[in-house]
Amino acid sequence: MPGFDKKDIHLDVSGDVLTIRAERHSEHEENDKKNKYVRCERSYGAYTREFDLSGVQADEIKAKYENGVLKLMLPKKTETLPKSQHLEIE
Protein backbone atom coordinates (compact mmCIF):
# COMPACT_ATOMS: atom_id res chain seq x y z
CA MET A 1 0.00 0.00 0.00
CA PRO A 2 2.62 2.54 -1.05
CA GLY A 3 1.69 6.17 -0.63
CA PHE A 4 -0.49 5.63 2.43
CA ASP A 5 0.51 6.56 5.97
CA LYS A 6 -0.01 4.06 8.79
CA LYS A 7 -2.55 6.39 10.45
CA ASP A 8 -4.67 6.43 7.27
CA ILE A 9 -5.14 2.64 7.14
CA HIS A 10 -8.09 1.07 9.01
CA LEU A 11 -8.59 -2.66 9.56
CA ASP A 12 -11.98 -3.89 10.78
CA VAL A 13 -13.23 -7.41 11.51
CA SER A 14 -16.98 -7.94 11.49
CA GLY A 15 -18.18 -11.51 11.72
CA ASP A 16 -16.16 -13.50 9.17
CA VAL A 17 -15.16 -10.46 7.06
CA LEU A 18 -11.93 -8.44 7.25
CA THR A 19 -12.24 -4.95 5.73
CA ILE A 20 -9.17 -2.91 4.80
CA ARG A 21 -9.79 0.81 4.16
CA ALA A 22 -7.27 3.52 3.39
CA GLU A 23 -7.55 7.16 2.30
CA ARG A 24 -4.98 9.74 1.37
CA HIS A 25 -5.12 13.44 0.67
CA SER A 26 -2.27 15.48 -0.69
CA GLU A 27 -1.74 19.12 -1.56
CA HIS A 28 1.15 20.74 -3.37
CA GLU A 29 1.55 24.45 -4.05
CA GLU A 30 4.23 26.27 -5.98
CA ASN A 31 4.58 30.04 -5.77
CA ASP A 32 6.73 32.45 -7.76
CA LYS A 33 8.80 35.30 -6.30
CA LYS A 34 5.77 37.61 -6.11
CA ASN A 35 3.94 34.97 -4.05
CA LYS A 36 1.49 34.26 -6.85
CA TYR A 37 0.46 30.72 -7.65
CA VAL A 38 2.31 29.00 -10.44
CA ARG A 39 0.80 25.62 -9.67
CA CYS A 40 -1.56 24.17 -7.08
CA GLU A 41 -2.35 20.44 -7.06
CA ARG A 42 -4.70 18.40 -4.88
CA SER A 43 -5.20 14.66 -5.05
CA TYR A 44 -7.34 12.14 -3.24
CA GLY A 45 -7.17 8.36 -3.24
CA ALA A 46 -9.20 5.66 -1.52
CA TYR A 47 -8.78 1.92 -1.24
CA THR A 48 -11.22 -0.69 0.13
CA ARG A 49 -11.01 -4.49 0.12
CA GLU A 50 -12.92 -7.20 1.97
CA PHE A 51 -11.69 -10.72 2.72
CA ASP A 52 -13.45 -13.85 3.97
CA LEU A 53 -12.16 -15.07 7.35
CA SER A 54 -14.16 -18.28 7.67
CA GLY A 55 -10.98 -20.41 7.98
CA VAL A 56 -9.07 -17.96 10.19
CA GLN A 57 -8.85 -17.41 13.96
CA ALA A 58 -10.06 -13.79 13.89
CA ASP A 59 -9.06 -13.04 17.48
CA GLU A 60 -5.38 -13.79 16.73
CA ILE A 61 -4.88 -11.70 13.57
CA LYS A 62 -1.79 -9.47 13.64
CA ALA A 63 -0.93 -6.60 11.29
CA LYS A 64 2.30 -4.76 10.53
CA TYR A 65 2.90 -1.83 8.18
CA GLU A 66 6.42 -0.94 7.11
CA ASN A 67 7.82 0.86 4.04
CA GLY A 68 4.51 0.77 2.16
CA VAL A 69 3.92 -2.95 2.76
CA LEU A 70 0.99 -4.15 4.89
CA LYS A 71 1.61 -7.63 6.33
CA LEU A 72 -1.23 -9.60 7.90
CA MET A 73 -0.63 -12.76 9.90
CA LEU A 74 -3.78 -14.87 9.66
CA PRO A 75 -3.53 -18.06 11.74
CA LYS A 76 -5.64 -20.93 10.42
CA LYS A 77 -8.38 -22.44 12.53
CA THR A 78 -7.50 -25.85 13.83
CA GLU A 79 -9.85 -28.37 12.36
CA THR A 80 -11.49 -30.66 14.85
CA LEU A 81 -11.95 -34.06 13.32
CA PRO A 82 -15.01 -35.99 14.41
CA LYS A 83 -14.18 -38.64 16.96
CA SER A 84 -14.80 -42.20 15.97
CA GLN A 85 -16.97 -44.14 18.32
CA HIS A 86 -17.65 -47.86 18.69
CA LEU A 87 -21.27 -48.88 19.11
CA GLU A 88 -22.36 -52.04 20.84
CA ILE A 89 -25.05 -54.17 19.25
CA GLU A 90 -27.99 -54.98 21.53
Rounded Cα distance, 74 and 20, in Å: 14
What is the value of pTM for the model shown?
Answer: 0.69
Buried b (16+ CB within 10 A) or exposed e, 57-79: ebeeeeeebeeeeeeeeeeeeee
- What is the structure's pLDDT at 13? 93
pLDDT number for residue 22? 93
Q: Rounded to whole angstroms, how far apart are CA atoms 40 and 25? A: 14
Q: β-strand 62-66 against 9-14: which pairing, if any?
A: unpaired
Tell me: pLDDT of 2 over 90. no
Tens digit of pLDDT for each residue in 31-83? 777 777 677 788 888 889 999 998 898 889 999 999 889 999 999 988 777 78
Task: Single out the residue of 74, 52, 78, 48 nearest to residue 62, CA to CA.
Answer: 74
pLDDT tens-digit map of 3-33: 888 899 999 999 889 999 999 888 888 877 7
